């Protein structure tokens, strides 16, 4: 057992403060049945929630920072996180606003998303709601472009949280996750460039980061992100693996081949596994190798949460 594996086992046994916090909006999903267009299967969504669950399954203490409505859907999300050992004490229950919901429909052109999230509890989250003690004690805070886009006050709270954890000696992890239904590209570019200046670990995907930076060359993208003061970049390249860079070194980390069924949430799974392994002491290149395997295994089942593997599954594949 490696030192990182020993730390993971100890983390599971010790009911202490979270090592990794994730901040953003989680929602309840209704996915149209392929057999009957009138039937919808209930699930869960939300990039930072997926991240938190993936990190928890890798053996780090994880907490979620957000708000849900005082409704059935909010209670379902709270139960999900508790079942996944994600600390819910930093989730506000807002009696004046609903939990966000979205629907996935399917046709010959692919799948389509319809969101009922305007005015949601998470979008009403404010800087004064932040768990200051938890931020002061965590190793990492993870956010995404969606965390910044859902409302002005949620964006303000996110920037305040980033500043607070860095002031306390922790680190910020940021996934670009660009959703142009939430904000125009010009605003997304300006806001994310500001966020890069407070980011230690950046986890962009290709389509998002090319739109945000306006660049198409991999090394130019890495140079741009590192120029903002980012310490580690893991550029997610899907079937090609990932391109990992620090100010001193950069490497392509090969993908792990699997027969993929559903890539939903694979990028979130990669991010959760990558940051979990950093928290447990891996260097960025070892963390990327682990995260590639974890994300690949998550595509061998359906949905963003159910197929996410646990640490023992990933370690078995790495060992073989």
Cβ contact 286:277 at 8 Å? yes
Q: For 143-181, what is each residue's pLDDT tens digit?
A: 999 999 999 999 999 999 999 999 999 999 999 999 999
Domain boundaries, the chain: 22-319
Cite the DSSP H helix spans in 97-246.
132-137, 145-149, 152-167, 185-196, 206-213, 218-227
**CATH architecture, domain 22-319:** 3-Layer(aba) Sandwich (3.40)
Q: How much is the pLDDT for 149?
A: 97
**Under a CB-based contact definition with an 8 Å cutoff, are residues 265 and 298 in contact?**
yes
| 191 Cβ neighbours under 8 A, 6+ residues apart | 148, 149, 155, 183
| Cβ pair 32, 106 in contact under 8 A | yes
**Helix (H/G/I), strand (E/B), else coil: 113:** strand
The pLDDT tens digits for 42-79 are 999 899 999 999 999 999 999 999 999 999 999 999 99
**Mean pLDDT for all residues in the chain:** 93
Q: Which residues contact 125 (CB under 8 A, 6 or more apart)?
A: 66, 67, 92, 151, 153, 154, 157
User: Which pTM was predicted?
Assistant: 0.92
Task: Give dist(CA 198, CA 186) in Å, integer.
Answer: 19
- In percent, the amount of the chain with pLDDT more than 90 equals 80
From residue 112, give the alpha-carbon distance in Å to each of 30, 37, 50, 102: 12, 13, 20, 10
**102-111, 162-171, 209-218, 230-239: least confidently modelled range:** 102-111
DSSP 257: -
The whole-angstrom distance between residue 114's C-alpha and the CA centroid of its chain comes to 21
Eight-state DSSP code of residue 252: E
pLDDT per residue as tens digits for the range 258-277:
888 888 889 999 999 999 99
Quick one: pLDDT at residue 106? 79
Lowest-pLDDT choice from 30-34, 95-99, 115-119, 219-223:
30-34
CB 52 within 8 Å of CB 271: no
Decide if pLDDT at 114 tops 60.
yes
- pLDDT grade for 14, boundaries at 50, 70 and 90: very low
Q: How confident is the model at residue 6 (pLDDT cuts 50, 70, 90)?
A: low
pLDDT band at 4 (very low <50, low <70, confident <90, very high): low
């Amino acid at each position: 057992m490696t030192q990182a594996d020993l730390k993971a086992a100890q983390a599971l046994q010790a009911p202490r403060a979270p090592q990794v916090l994730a901040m953003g909006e989680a929602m309840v999903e209704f996915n149209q049945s392929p057999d009957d267009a009138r039937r919808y299967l209930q699930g869960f969504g939300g990039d930072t929630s997926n991240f938190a669950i993936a990190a928890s399954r890798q053996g780090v203490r994880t907490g979620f920072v957000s708000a849900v409505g005082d409704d059935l859907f909010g209670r379902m999300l709270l139960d999900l996180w508790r079942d996944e050992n994600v600390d819910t004490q930093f989730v506000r229950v807002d009696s004046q606003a609903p939990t966000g919901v979205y629907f996935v429909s399917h046709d010959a052109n692919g799948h389509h998303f319809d969101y009922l999230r305007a005015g949601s509890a998470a979008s009403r989250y404010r800087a004064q709601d932040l768990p200051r003690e938890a931020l002061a004690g965590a190793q990492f805070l993870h956010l995404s472009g969606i965390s910044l886009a859902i409302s002005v006050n949620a964006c303000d709270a996110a920037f305040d949280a980033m500043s607070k954890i860095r002031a306390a000696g922790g680190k910020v992890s940021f996934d670009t996750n660009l959703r142009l239904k939430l904000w125009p590209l010009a605003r997304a570019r300006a806001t994310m460039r500001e966020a890069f200046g407070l980011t230690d670990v950046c986890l962009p995907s290709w389509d998002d980061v090319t739109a945000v930076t306006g660049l198409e060359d991999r090394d130019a993208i890495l140079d741009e992100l590192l120029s903002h003061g980012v310490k580690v970049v893991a550029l997610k390249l899907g079937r090609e693996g990932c391109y990992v860079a620090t100010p001193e070194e950069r490497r392509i980390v090969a993908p792990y081949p699997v027969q993929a069924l559903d890539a939903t949430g694979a990028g979130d799974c990669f991010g959760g596994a990558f940051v979990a392994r950093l928290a447990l002491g891996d260097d960025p290149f070892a963390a990327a190798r682990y995260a590639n395997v974890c994300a690949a295994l998550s595509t061998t089942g359906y949905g963003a949460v159910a197929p996410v593997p646990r640490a023992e599954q990933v370690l078995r594949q790495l060992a073989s």
